[in-house]
């Protein structure tokens, strides 16, 4: 998502500077080109050598070094975004008042790109009226604040003032500055995870779905600009994108009701959840005791969400999943037709490292026009991107 994007990372003197190493690494891993500028005092906290090795670019500290002059104007114009992380109390005050006694400040004052700041300081410093006034000043200049987090501080105290964790900063930047607009104004619904069908107050019938594929699809849609809602069964999965709406459900019936309520406004619907096909016909009000040697559980069919949305669909692009162990292609094609979907994504349990619980997957995608696409084994995130690319291609065809 950050491929080819240019990020200027400013590091000022705070103990949180050690987190900037990981931040630089994450940005580079996402494909960004990263140039680092440090204040002279920041060198006491983290070595420029580490950062230049990770980013592949010389770390700049001084405006004048030996007989050369760092072109601060061009640096500020080069970047797509300038991020100051950590932003110390001292550098914050200087930025608020337009002071210019080091390279980082000179670049900041001459930059034309958006500026994001991730402050880091002790709780009392953070809450001081002077600091809050300076933060307000930077917000008035149009800069974006990546808020401090609550937790243990370098002083040993616990409170607000920790710099946001590198992964949170990465997602914040992606969300704020780098979403595509391919699916702008499109609404997307994704179901994810398993459903739990209660047997009695302490037991349920469920399955091993982790929700990873559904959440990866939701993030890929969101990165392309869609307005995304995930209807999720019980999972440990989360997204760091604050704009993705999550509706938590437990049972197939709850998932069915939530999807039906959302359906009409949707443009894209991806049914990635492993919905229970059957649920206990009745739920015992008390815990079932172990009295008999054999115990029969009477199950009844749940509503098929995909088929219901398929029957109701108008302009929605509808995608279903199929998990098969035999006659895979034929079963997938039958589901595509029977459920009136536009696309079926087939998982095979026969493929090692694919399917439930794994971080990787391998799928075959069947389209209503008879064509089909195979993906090799790849991360669920990459598979999700590929599926969303296909959706975009088909929707714009
Ligand atoms: N699905 C659904 N509602 C259900 C059951 C399944 O929306 N009650 C959706 C799943 O989210 C998936 C697709 O239907 O997108 C296929 O699910 P799968 O379990 O493979 O197929 P079934 O239709 O349940 O058929 P079978 O179990 O017989 O293979």
237 lies in the same domain as 319: yes
Q: Which residues are annotated as catalytic?
A: 207
Structure tokens at 330: 């034929």
Structure tokens at 349: 């349990």
| CATH number (domain holding residue 65) | 3.40.50.1950
11: left (phi over 0), alpha (psi -120 to 50) or beta: beta
Q: What is the mean pLDDT of residues 310-327?
A: 94
Supply the pLDDT for residue 65. 66
Is 246 a member of any domain? yes
- Identify the residue with better confidence: 371 or 188: 188
Q: Is residue 314 part of a domain?
A: yes
Domain contains 126: yes
Mutate to test the pocket of ligand 1, among 196, 303, 320 (most ligand atoms within 8 A of CB): 320
Check whether 356 has a pLDDT greater than 80: no
Q: Going by CA atoms, what residue is nearest to atom 8 of ligand 1? A: 304
Are residues 127 and 20 part of one domain?
A: yes
Q: How far is CA 226 from the centre of its chain?
A: 13
Backbone angles phi, psi at 270, to 5 degrees: -120, 115
| Distance from residue 276's CA to the centre of ligand 1 (Å) | 8
Tell how far the Cα of 204 is from the centroid of ligand 1, in angstroms: 19
Q: State the average pLDDT over residues 187-214.
A: 97
Q: Which domain holds residue 234?
A: 187-278+293-395
Domain C-terminal end among 159, 177, 195: 177
Same domain for 152 and 273?
no
Using the mean position of ligand 1's atoms as its centre, give its distance from the Cα of residue 36 in Å: 50
| pLDDT 10s digits, 1-59 | 899 999 999 999 999 999 999 999 999 999 999 999 999 999 999 999 999 999 999 99
Same domain, 93 and 207: no
Ligand 1 pocket, residues with Cβ under 6 angstroms: 191, 252, 271, 273, 275, 277, 302, 304-306, 320-323, 335
Within this chain, do residues 208 and 333 fall inside the same structural domain, yes or no? yes
152 and 35 part of one domain: yes
Residues 76-120: tens digit of each pLDDT: 889 999 999 999 999 999 999 999 999 999 999 999 999 999 999
Total of domains in the chain: 2
Whether 129 and 196 share a structural domain: no
DSSP letter (8 states) at residue 191: E
**66 and 108 in a common domain:** yes
The pLDDT confidence band at residue 70, using thresholds 50, 70 and 90, is low
Considering only CA atoms, which residue is closest to atom 28 of ligand 1? 277
Model pLDDT, residue 71? 74
Q: Kindly give the distance from the C-alpha atom of residue 288 to the centroid of ligand 1, in angstroms, as a whole number.
A: 29
Examine the fold and report which residue of 177, 205, 235 is the final residue of a domain before the chain moves on: 177
Domain end: 177, 207, 234, which one? 177
Indicate whether 232 and 254 sit together in one domain: yes
Residues 335 and 261 reside in one and the same domain: yes
Q: Using the predicted structure, report yes or no on whether residue 67 has a pLDDT greater than 70.
A: no
Closest ligand 1 atom number to CA of residue 335? 23
Residues 156 and 196 in one domain: no
* CATH code for the domain in which residue 382 is found: 3.40.50.10300
Residue 283 lies in a domain: no
Is residue 16 situated within a structural domain? Answer: yes
Q: What pLDDT band is residue 69 in, cutting at 50, 70 and 90?
A: low
Q: What is the pLDDT of residue 234?
A: 98
Residue 321 CA: nearest ligand 1 atom is 15
Residues 233 and 325 in one domain: yes
pLDDT tens digits for range 244-259: 999 999 999 999 999 9
Mean pLDDT of 167-186: 97
> Residue 156 has which token pair?
């040993």
- Phi and psi of 118, rounded to 5°? -125, 90
Distance in Å, CA 237 to ligand 1 centroid: 21
Mutate to test the pocket of ligand 1, among 263, 321, 365 (most ligand atoms within 8 A of CB): 321
Instruction: Note whether residue 1 is domain-resident.
Output: no
């Amino acid at each position: 998502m950050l491929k080819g994007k240019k990020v200027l990372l400013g590091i000022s003197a705070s103990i949180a500077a050690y987190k900037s190493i990981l931040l630089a690494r994450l940005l580079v891993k996402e494909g960004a080109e990263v140039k680092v500028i440090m204040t002279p005092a920041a060198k006491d906290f983290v070595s420029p050598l580490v950062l230049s090795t990770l980013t592949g670019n010389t770390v700049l500290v001084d405006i004048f070094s030996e007989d050369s002059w760092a072109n601060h104007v061009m640096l500020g114009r080069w970047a797509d975004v300038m991020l100051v992380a950590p932003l110390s109390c001292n550098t914050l005050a200087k930025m608020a008042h337009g002071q210019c006694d080091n390279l980082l400040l000179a670049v900041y004052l001459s930059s034309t790109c958006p500026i994001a700041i991730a402050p880091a300081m002790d709780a009392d410093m953070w809450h001081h009226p002077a600091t809050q006034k300076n933060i307000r000043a930077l917000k008035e200049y149009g800069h974006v604040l990546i808020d401090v987090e609550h937790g243990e501080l370098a002083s040993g105290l616990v409170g607000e003032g920790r710099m946001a964790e590198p992964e949170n900063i990465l997602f914040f930047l992606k969300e704020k500055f780098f979403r595509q607009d391919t699916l702008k104004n499109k609404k997307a619904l994704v179901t994810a995870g398993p459903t739990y069908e209660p047997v009695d107050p302490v037991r349920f019938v469920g399955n091993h779905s982790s929700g990873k594929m559904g959440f990866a699809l939701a993030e890929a849609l969101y990165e392309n600009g869609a307005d995304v809602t995930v209807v999720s069964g019980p999972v440990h999965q989360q997204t760091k994108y604050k704009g993705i709406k999550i509706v938590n459900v437990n049972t197939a019936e709850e998932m069915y009701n939530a999807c039906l309520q959302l359906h009409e406004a949707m443009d894209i619907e991806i049914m990635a959840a492993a919905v229970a096909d059957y649920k206990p016909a009745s739920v015992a009000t008390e815990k079932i005791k172990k009295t008999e040697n054999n115990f029969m559980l009477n199950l009844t069919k749940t509503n098929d969400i995909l088929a219901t949305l398929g029957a109701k669909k108008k302009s929605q692009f509808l995608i279903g999943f199929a998990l098969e162990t035999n006659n895979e292609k034929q079963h997938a094609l039958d589901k595509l037709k029977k459920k009136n979907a536009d696309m079926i994504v087939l998982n095979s349990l026969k493929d090692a490292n694919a399917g439930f619980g794994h971080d990787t997957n391998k799928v075959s995608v069947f389209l209503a026009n008879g064509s089909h696409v195979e993906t090799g084994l790849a991360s669920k995130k990459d598979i999700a991107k590929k599926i969303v690319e296909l959706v975009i291609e088909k929707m714009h065809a």
